[in-house]
Amino acid sequence: MSQAFRTDSKIRFAEVLLEDLRKRPGGEGDDFQRSREEAFLYHLYGAVDAFLNEVNAHHGFLLAPNKVDLCNLERALKKKGAPPSAQLDQIRKAQNDPAGFLHRLTELRHAFTHRGGTTRIFYYGGEAHGERRINDPATGKPGPKHILDEFADALAEMRTFIQQLRADLAATPP
């Protein structure tokens, strides 16, 4: 199995989970929803980790899969005498940009899977009737849109992000 196949699989798994959530309305906050929300975030966030294995393979570092992360890849590049990786820089910048999708995805994934979850708001009546929104883990304020719309946006942005990273990586000498 190629490293790219694994990255693509993580994105497909997230897509399957999102479709599961869309097909089953109601159940506000039940185990079905919560488990799929957590799994969606886990797999979508995992696409970045899987892409790091693509970087590892591209440069021929042979780092063990459990050792592949931004820091170890940067160390391997430095040890090789290679210039810093534009792809690793892009990932780090995206993770640290508070206005960016990857920063939000990282915060949500950590909140959902490591920190006991995050609260959701279920709107009953009024303009937003039927919507579920996530409270922002950092501010406690409601998210900007329905959770499924936010997830769909993150999925689309991840696809684009991985495509851009791959194009840049393909143009980078090993």
Confidence of residue 132 (pLDDT cuts 50, 70, 90): confident
What are the CA-CA distances from residue 23 to residues 20, 103, 115 (Å)?
A: 5, 28, 28
- If phi > 0 it is left, if psi is from -120 to 50 it is alpha, else beta; for residue 91 that is alpha
pLDDT at 87 over 70: yes
Buried b (16+ CB within 10 A) or exposed e, 34-66: eebbbbbbbbbbbbbebbbbbbbbbbebebeee
Q: pTM of the entire structure?
A: 0.90
The pLDDT confidence band at residue 118, using thresholds 50, 70 and 90, is low
Looking at the 3D structure of the chain, how many domains does it have? 1
Any bridge partners for residue 132, and if so which?
122
Which domain does 67 fall in, by range?
3-170
